[in-house]
Structure 1
Amino acid sequence: MTAPSSPDLFLLSLFDREQWCPVLQARFEVTDRARLCRLVGAGSEAELERMGFQLDDAEALKLCEAFGISLDWDALDFPDREFIVDRVRPIQTAPYLIHTGYELPLLLDGRKKLAHFAEPYPPMSFPGEHRFDHWVAAGRLHKEVKLEPFGDEPTKAGSHQGTRRVYFTAKSEEWRIPAMKLVWEAASRANGGWNEYFERLEGMLFGYEDWQNDWWIETGLCGGGFGGMPFCCAVDSQGLAWIEQAGYRALPPVVQPQLILDDYDPARPLPEQLARLERTDAAALAIFSVGWQSLDLWTEQAAPCRMPAARMPELNALLLRPIRIIRLKPQAAT
């Protein structure tokens, strides 16, 4: 007899096609994925991770009965609607409403100052664009469209010819569009590319509050996206002194032919982390963030990985922010 698997979180949403956003949602736990597949029409359990599923009223009612979902939609009687079932995504764990998927009502309410959509073209519209255009025609919203052709790039396969960027703002907020373009241009020319400072500027232009930007950036710096990939390596006392003298902006040279690097997980016990780095006698753990281009510096795809010592200057050039240090207690002599 096997132990039951951990429940997965899914989201049932009532989607209003007029406002082009969910207006009622409920999370529910799923331990029987095969049953969920049958109810939503998924061909396999893997499809549950990749895509959302549209349901009509009768199908949504069966889902609610099967998984004990409480979603009172009787008072929301509007004709142009559908139900959507999707996996709860990490972005939905934020302590505030992320604008994605709610752009239109937030723009009209003044809570969102700028919306940006980027899709390959053709077609010359994105799903729901006609609802935004309704308010453009009514004089409530401003719209700008920019086409960016792919050109002759061999990697752009298929029938798409380029990227179509669409911007919406409330009236009198049009200045945010050229400001956003300027931020992106500055990031493309900056050493190290996009970082938390550009991310904050973008969030401010979108209309997020300061505390929301603070949370987003602090979370992003923990790894992935603009925060870069968090890695670590072990250093001895001389290496630690070298990092301090360098203002925590560079890793020290190594004597060994190769440097062992590992992805940094704050939940991983230190003894385990040091064992993965093959340095149980280290004086400190150096934690640093690098961009995705750094993957070319080491041989293995999976961490822990090894980098030739001669490539240390290249790694230092890719550091995104100051190195963090976890000092290790010296072991007692035996």
Structure 2
Amino acid sequence: MPKMHSEWLRQLPYLVHTNRELGLMLRGTKPLAYFMDFVGREPETCIRYWRMFDRHVAVGHLIKRELIDTCPDLPRLECRRLFYVLPGHEWRIDAMLKLLDEPGAWSDGRERRFGELLGYENWQIDYWLAHRPSFANA
């Protein structure tokens, strides 16, 4: 994440979920965590983080779904989409896949739905949509 971006995120009036997903999920305040990376090119820090989630999957505190597909723009690479949800929130995975795979340009409506599925509150999504810097639209 670019330094300017991370500094801006720290100034938000709420905590972003990034790198806090597991703790928020174990407290029951975040229903879904979503990760995407190239198979075989994942940073070791990500692999270690996912193993922490997997320990909670093993005892039934979380549910995991992993999808590996050819990357549309880079057909020589495979993309891993990794979802963890709280029990009872499995529907969020299907809803997120539908949102992510929907054709067309990303819009404020899709951004709002993305935030809702991840567990952000409406006021947080409203703030993000109203104040996000231009690099968030790329």
The CA RMSD over aligned residues, in Å, is: 2.7
Q: 1:207 to 1:152 in 2, by over 3 A?
A: closer
Residue 225 (structure 1) shift: 2.9
Q: Provide closer, same or farther for how the CA distance between residues 213 and 148 of structure 1 changes in structure 2, counting only shifts above 3 A.
A: same
Listed one character per residue, the Cα deviations across residues 5-24 of structure 1 (whole Å, up to 9, x for unaligned) are xxxxxxxxxxxxxxxxxxxx
How many correspondences in the alignment?
134
* Paired position in structure 2 for 1:329: none
**52, 65, 81: which one pairs with 1:131?**
52
Who is 1:203 aligned against? Answer: 115
TM-score (norm. length: structure 1):
0.37
Larger Rg: 1
Aligned partners of 2:90, 2:74: CA distance in 1, in Å?
Answer: 32
Question: 1 CA distance for matches of 2:57 and 2:14?
Answer: 27
Shift of 1:153: 4.3
Structure 2, unaligned runs of 5 or more: none
Equivalence map 1:1-334=2 (5 Å): 89-122=7-40, 126-150=47-71, 153=74, 161-186=77-102, 188=103, 190=104, 193-220=105-132, 223-226=134-137
**Could you tell me which amino acid in structure 2 is paired with residue 224 of structure 1?**
F
Unpaired runs of 5+ in structure 1?
1-48, 52-86, 229-334
* 1:122 counterpart SS class: coil
Structure with more contact order per residue of length (Cα contacts < 8 Å, sep ≥ 6): 2
Q: What is the alpha-carbon distance in structure 2 between the residues aligned to residue 121 and residue 88 of structure 1?
A: 25
TM-score of the superposition, structure 2-length normalised?
0.84
8 Å contact kept, 1:143–1:169: yes
Equivalence for 1:262: none
Deviation at 1:165, TM superposition (A): 1.0
Paired residues of 1:114 and 1:206 also in contact (CA < 8 A): yes
